[in-house]
Structure 1
Amino acid sequence: MAFEKQSEQMASGKGFIAALDQSGGSTPKALGLYGVTADMYDGEEAMFDEIHAMRARIILAPDFTNEKVIGAILFERTMRGEINGKPTAQLLWEDRGIVPFLKIDKGLEDQANGVQLMKPIPGLSETLADAKGFGIFGTKERSVIHEANAEGIKAVVAQQFELGKEVVAAGLVPIIEPEVNISSPTKAEAEDILKSEILAQLDALEDGQDVMLKLTIPTQDGLYDKLADHPRVMRVVALSGGYSTEEACDRLSRQPKMIASFSRALTEGLSKQQSEGDFNAALGGNITKIFNAS
């Protein structure tokens, strides 16, 4: 069964998860870094066509295989699209050996109590059923912690796990992502509170309610080792959070029980104008750096 094979790859495979899930709000910026400015496309549809072409180019690159990339997180439109006439998630698993995930959150609420909770997710049960139909293995859902506010952090983690249980009930594996802002003056303190809240939620899960965690690389090395060893945790992955590829990889290399799940760091230095050879070399270099740090 594909699910068992994918579970094994996510739990113990060597490599990292590529985050290819920029949504409507972050797409113009991602395209700009790729050398596609707003005057080069007309309207939202054309913008999404451009980002889909960028993602397809990455996915089809020679180094983008499960030798180093064990999973990839997709934006919903990417899941519903095709690459070379094949649904994206199916191509990822069947042709590249990469486990497909789907970003399901719909953005963030305004900041309160030092955090940003997730906005409501309309049509969630239908989206999860569709994801299962497309061959998606798991989901990703992001909130953000800006300050070491115990009440706010508790609310973020509770919301994340509530949603995670819905995802598990739909037969998928959730990547729970309570990001800690790397610029927060109370980052280390926030991470201590976050760890305690996550442990409490993990201890309350039943057998079979397995999750993954996507966390900011902690200030204190090894802080999340206990989470990685928890029987309900399939894997702990790290987000780059605005660090450069170099710094993110350096910090990650000091976390023996975390692997990368980078977005911007993966695509750093890529542009639409590059020849295939230059593009593949630049992407291959980023993949190797992130793989080595993982």
Structure 2
Amino acid sequence: MNQSQLDRMKNGKGFIAALDQSGGSTPKALAAYGVMEDSYSNEEEMFDQVHEMRTRIMTSPAFSSEHILGVILFEQTMDSKVEGKYTADYLADHNIVPFLKVDKGLAEQENGVQLMKPNPDLDETLRRANERNIFGTKMRSVIHEPNEEGIKAVADQQFEVGKKIIAADLVPIIEPEVNIHSEKKEECEEILKKEILNHLNDLSEDENVMLKLTIPTKANAYKELVEHPRVVRVVALSGGYSRDEANEKLKENDGMIASFSRALAEELRFNQTGEEFDKAMKSAIESIYDASVNKK
């Protein structure tokens, strides 16, 4: 593991940009960017379009280590190049820590939650991640209802896979998202915190994780997780909130930094001039950085 990257993730000021839209979410991300489905005729062309978008983001002058600590990549992005270098190497050269999304999407809802789909190729993905100089990984489940059995299953699965990732000398970002539209969101968060703490307390001193969590209803509800010795960093997903709303909520939570996707890119369009694009990027990045660093 790269110790300087670990130290940067643990102590650096800034946030993580989530550029890891998958095959399922890429059409929506491209549409929000102004690239409609009739602009590409197959999956390969779709991923070429989204790589162009991600490359434009990552090479913008506004996108620098002054504000950005890390970037979460999609598998194709890891294997693609930015300015002639594999994406993770390009980011590392700019002092930005690369992560890889490794889950294969969500299973059908059961017991109020969606677990991760089976991932038989995980070992091979982790081998390739090391080959491509990736620092850590991310994997997402979703919680819809305060069902104790379901939430326990989510935490169990996340940490079971997380330990395999740690064994591969990578740092896992555990992401059990709580649906922001859940009618009992705060209840879900209380159960989830208890389950996460149980797993954190079982980790050995050389097993460390990051957590990516929905911004809690009750400010600082996750303070115990932020301060836990086995947690490198707690990052927040925007979860469908607008950037302004996500930023305001994030400011209320000490120690949590952003890991936004849609909220980061919401004002970016493919037909913007370079000047317009960079101005929109700068505004987004500075506001998210401020919410991550300056708390109420």
Shift of 1:203: 0.2
Distance 2:189 2:164 in 1: 25
- 2:274 matches 1:276: yes
Shift of 1:122: 2.0
DSSP 3-state at the match of 1:174 = strand
User: Which position in structure 1 is the counterpart of 2:89?
Assistant: 90
- Residues 125-147 of structure 1: CA deviation (Å, up to 9, x unaligned): 11101101101000000000000
Q: TM-score, normalised by structure 1?
A: 0.99
User: Which position in structure 1 is the counterpart of 2:197?
Assistant: 199
Shift of 1:41: 1.5
Q: 1:246 aligns with which of 244, 247, 250?
A: 244
Alignment map for 1:26-175 (pairs within 5 Å): 26-94=25-93, 96-175=94-173
Distance 1:24 1:237 in 2: 23
Q: TM-score, normalised by structure 2?
A: 0.98
User: Which position in structure 2 is the counterpart of 1:24?
Assistant: 23
- Residues 222-267 of structure 1: CA deviation (Å, up to 9, x unaligned): 0111101111000000000000000000000000110000000000
Shift of 1:207: 1.0
Distance 1:137 1:204 in 2: 23
Distance 1:148 1:124 in 2: 29
Distance 2:193 2:32 in 1: 34
User: Which position in structure 1 is the counterpart of 2:9?
Assistant: 10
Residue identity opposite 2:152 in structure 1: K
Q: 1:178 aligns with which of 166, 176, 201?
A: 176
Distance 1:208 1:98 in 2: 23
Distance 1:38 1:241 in 2: 23
Distance 1:266 1:288 in 2: 10
DSSP 3-state at the match of 1:236 = strand
Which blocks of at least 5 consecutive residues in structure 2 are unaligned? none
- Residues 173-220 of structure 1: CA deviation (Å, up to 9, x unaligned): 000000000000010000000000000000000111000000000000
User: Which position in structure 1 is the counterpart of 2:224?
Assistant: 226
Identity %: 59
The two structures, once aligned, show a CA RMSD in angstroms of 0.7
Distance 2:47 2:131 in 1: 23
Distance 1:22 1:139 in 2: 14
Point out 4+ residue stretches in structure 1 off by more than 3 angstroms.
none
Residue identity opposite 1:261 in structure 2: S
- Residues 97-118 of structure 1: CA deviation (Å, up to 9, x unaligned): 1000000000011000000000
Residue identity opposite 2:246 in structure 1: A
Which blocks of at least 5 consecutive residues in structure 1 are unaligned? none
DSSP 3-state at the match of 1:142 = strand
DSSP 3-state at the match of 1:63 = coil
DSSP 3-state at the match of 2:175 = strand
Q: 2:284 aligns with which of 274, 283, 286?
A: 286
Residue identity opposite 2:14 in structure 1: G
Distance 2:40 2:159 in 1: 39
Residue identity opposite 2:32 in structure 1: L
DSSP 3-state at the match of 1:92 = helix
Q: 1:267 aligns with which of 265, 268, 278?
A: 265
